[in-house]
Amino acid sequence: MMERPSHSDRDEALARRIGQLREEGRPLASDPELADDPLGRALLALADEAAPAVPPERSERIWQRIAARMHRRAADRAPQRRPQVRRLYWRRALVVAVVLLAAGLGWWLYAVKESAPVLVASADATPEVYTAPDGSQITLRPHSQLYRLAASETVLRYRLEGEAFFDVVHRPERQFQVEAGAVRITVLGTRFDVRTWDGVEVFLETGRLRVEGPRGQQQVLTDGQRSRLTADGHLTPSEPAPAETYLDWLQGRLTFVQEPAAQVAAELAHHFGVRLTLPEPYASQTLSGTLTLDSLPQVLQDLGRVLGGRFVEVAPKHYRFEADAGR
């Protein structure tokens, strides 16, 4: 009677097959042999989840250990009694863990704790352009940071602090996601702006965008629409918004239409990395116009004149508005 292959033999055969696919640069899902094996199907399902990248040198050491075990002579293995079912499952689970790690999947670690965010781009006094691995371009507004949370064949996920404009390449096989505060944005190939410096706002220039709030609510944006996260954690319904309000900073301008002066001051404070104090009743004054973002002294002088006063530096990088005498 033919002897059925042991779990160890099947695991080693599976490891060999994954190693061959890895050397050929082929995705796991392209191999029918994996789809026919129960463990292979489990690996394919788990491969769809985002996972932290394994450093090349660590991956190479793992593959060397696997190769050494696969070529170990059967005679060198001491006879063993038939293990208990629980011990057999644990042994197989350990082999699976090594195979997954060698394949760059590391899912068991990711399920417990998401990999530490990696700072991939930061803008100081001037905008900074970052090109993602899939060719998408992200333009960071001054004093903004972009962190990579996950990168795999199926997902690219970033976290934004500040503001940025995204020009995302459409790739059906890969999701592009952005986390902004408590909001997650899923992209299907589009151009949009996200800001987090005064609450979370998302504006879509072209394409289609799904925005998810912290309570599971969703909004789908189409061309020229925006959504905001309210103070109590709700997403506002999608609504039309003027593109220049969100995109003019890319051209070195700040455009505002019927905006409270406090909102204008908050945007300037973020753009230049300073603190602006604007007391009432001036903070509530409604403004419409355009300011050039060439230099902080000039923009403060222009805004001060509009409000009927001037901004005085009261501490390093802290400016307070003072009204002209007689106002």
Among 19-23, 27-31, 58-62, 106-110, which stretch is predicted with the lowest mean pLDDT?
A: 106-110
Q: What is the pLDDT of residue 99?
A: 44
**Residues 236-264, mean pLDDT to the nearest whole number:** 93
Question: What class, spelled out in words, does domain 118-242 have in CATH?
Answer: mainly beta
> pLDDT tens across 164-220, in order?
999 999 888 888 999 999 999 998 778 999 999 888 999 999 999 999 999 889 999
Residues 127, 129, 132, CA angle at the centre, nearest 5°? 150
Q: What is the pLDDT of residue 199?
A: 87
The Cα 174–Cα 153 span in angstroms is 6
Residues carrying CATH 2.60.120.1440, the chain: 118-242
Residue range 252-323 in CATH 3.55.50.30: yes
Whole-model pTM? 0.61
Residue 110's H or E segment, with its range, is helix 107-112
The CA-to-CA distance between both ends of the chain, in Å, stands at 103
Task: Please name which of 176, 150, 151, 148 lies closest in space to residue 161, comparing C-alpha atoms.
Answer: 148
